[in-house]
Structure 1
């Protein structure tokens, strides 16, 4: 395990991988969805990654264990995990991260360090409310919001 204590106050603690996978299975059961071994494997790879991971990087890792893995295999699994709210897509990086509060309705704001690539997920309802209100003033009904903030993390600033 890496020592993440320096920025733990920014976001939820990450549970051990087994716990996260068990929670994911429970969430899928509750919604009547099927977390197949493949989907579970892709989820585990995303959760284990230290930073946002792209579909092709996932495919390479998957091929080590599943010779027949192809891009559609990975994309279908990722789509399922996105639908279930177990992972998020970081649009600006075209990559995927595990959700730190899967199963809860929450806003997604990502802080992306342009130096080391570390991505922190914030969940600030105030930011979401302000954006929805701003959209509503324009007569626009906001359905999905992903806010991505690029900058330099505390670690890299100190370096």
Structure 2
């Protein structure tokens, strides 16, 4: 499957964010899920950059917009977004990133730049298929997998001296 997430490429980010938000709103409406103003704003905040954000960073931004300063405000909004497939939890960074494919059945792998903390959600159906085969050999059924790969995005790889990185 071709790369449909331009996180590490030049692109019209405002168009990208608007399109993803519109898809999330349509999916929420189809499912009867309430995308309240605070939930929608939390998703907009996550969509503003292709990187993962911590809950407290999201909370700061929500507070600036008048949504309150108590941690449950952000945690409840982020929990809703994750449960409904509008955001993903990036465990390596203890942070959250907007899902770039809301409403689509997909098996994401997160490519995390260890230099700039940029995050790209890449389609990883072949990886998921391999996991399912390995699990099935042991009678195990995978319900959800969170695959995270740490490395360097193209921009950081050009500027960082990689000669001392062990193979």
TM-score band w.r.t. shorter chain = 0.7 to 0.9
Tell me how far apart the structure 2 counterparts of residues 87 and 100 of structure 1 sit (CA, whole Å). 8
Structure 2: gaps of 5 or more residues? 7-12, 160-167
State the superposition RMSD in angstroms. 1.6
Structure 1 position 123, deviation (Å): 0.8
Superimposed CA distance per residue, residues 35-74 of structure 1 (whole angstroms, 9 cap, x where no aligned partner): 1111111110011134100000011111112263311111
Match of 1:155 in 2: 155
Structure 1 position 158, deviation (Å): 1.3
Q: Normalising to structure 2: TM-score of the pair?
A: 0.83
SS in 1 for 2:157: helix
Superimposed CA distance per residue, residues 106-155 of structure 1 (whole angstroms, 9 cap, x where no aligned partner): 00101111111111111121110001111111222111001001112222
Q: Is the 1:85–1:102 contact (alpha carbons within 8 Å) kept by the matching residues of 2? A: yes
Q: Normalising to structure 1: TM-score of the pair?
A: 0.87
Q: Is the 1:55–1:75 contact (alpha carbons within 8 Å) kept by the matching residues of 2? A: yes
Q: Is the 1:11–1:120 contact (alpha carbons within 8 Å) kept by the matching residues of 2? A: no
Match of 1:39 in 2: 39
Match of 2:114 in 1: 114
Q: Is the 2:62–2:68 contact (alpha carbons within 8 Å) kept by the matching residues of 1? A: no
Tell me how far apart the structure 2 counterparts of residues 16 and 52 of structure 1 sit (CA, whole Å). 16
Structure 1 position 11, deviation (Å): 3.4
1:5-20 maps to which residues of 2 (within 5 A)?
10-13=3-6, 15-20=15-20
Q: 1:67 to 1:133 in 2, by over 3 A?
A: closer
Q: Which runs of 4+ in 1 moved over 6 A?
A: none
Q: 1:12 to 1:138 in 2, by over 3 A?
A: same
